[in-house]
Chain A
Amino acid sequence: AQKVTQAQTEISVVEKEDVTLDCVYETRDTTYYLFWYKQPPSGELVFLIRRNSFDEQNEISGRYSWNFQKSTSSFNFTITASQVVDSAVYFCALRGNSGYSTLTFGKGTMLLVSP
């Protein structure tokens, strides 16, 4: 069985602060994929990043960066210099390599960035 845990239910920061969203996962698959999605108040799911289990290189995209640590089964997401537009719910998700590529989502972390 697969499981994704996002222990932080809600995080509040002031604009320009850095913030890290935690994600811990469990899977028995040896090959798997990890994802982050953003859900703004309008409700759609916006894809942010995909990571393969065999590629532990960290990634940076503008103000966003991701830290994948297989040894601790974590895939954390950091927003540098947060902005009000970053306010959203962020979901971490896992997809194994078996079956039909179903996504297992965490419960999400609501990020509130105030001016």
Chain B
Amino acid sequence: EPEVTQTPSHQVTQMGQEVILRCVPISNHLYFYWYRQILGQKVEFLVSFYNNEISEKSEIFDDQFSVERPDGSNFTLKIRSTKLEDSAMYFCASLGQKDQPQHFGDGTRLSIL
């Protein structure tokens, strides 16, 4: 069965540095998402991406965050200047049709020092 793949599985970065989290969604899917889960808390929506542009974003997704689909296969989340509170598990998800479940990657654990 096709999978959403995320790299790296764990990223350790110094505060203030830029970080790029990478995702390869399922190839024929049209909707792409990033979610965040701070340790011990619930999974929170960050942003959705459709038709090569951001379709929705939460209040968490401020100017420090950006997303790109640079080459038609990868879907990246960039955090421009990381803060300690950005430490979390970041999940990428993709969706083919709206009546189907979203497929999640295994997540990238981001640790900001």
Contacts and interface: CB of A to CB of B under 8 A. Distances in A.
A93 B33 CA distance: 15
Contacts of A33: 99, 101
A114 interface: no
A21 to B, nearest CB: 14
A74 interface: no
B98 A101 contact: yes
B91 A100 contact: no
B17 interface: no
B7 interface: no
A93 B100 CA distance: 14
A52 B31 CA distance: 19
A44 B106 contact: yes
A7 B91 CA distance: 24
Given A33-B99, A47-B101, A100 B31 contact: yes
A50 B100 CA distance: 8
Interface of A: 33, 35, 37, 43-45, 47, 50, 52, 91, 93, 95, 97, 99-108
Interface of B: 31, 33, 35, 41-45, 48, 50, 55-56, 89, 91, 93, 95, 98-107, 109
Given A33-B101, A101-B102, 7 more contacts: A33-B99, A45-B91, A47-B103, A100-B56, A103-B33, A103-B93, A103-B102
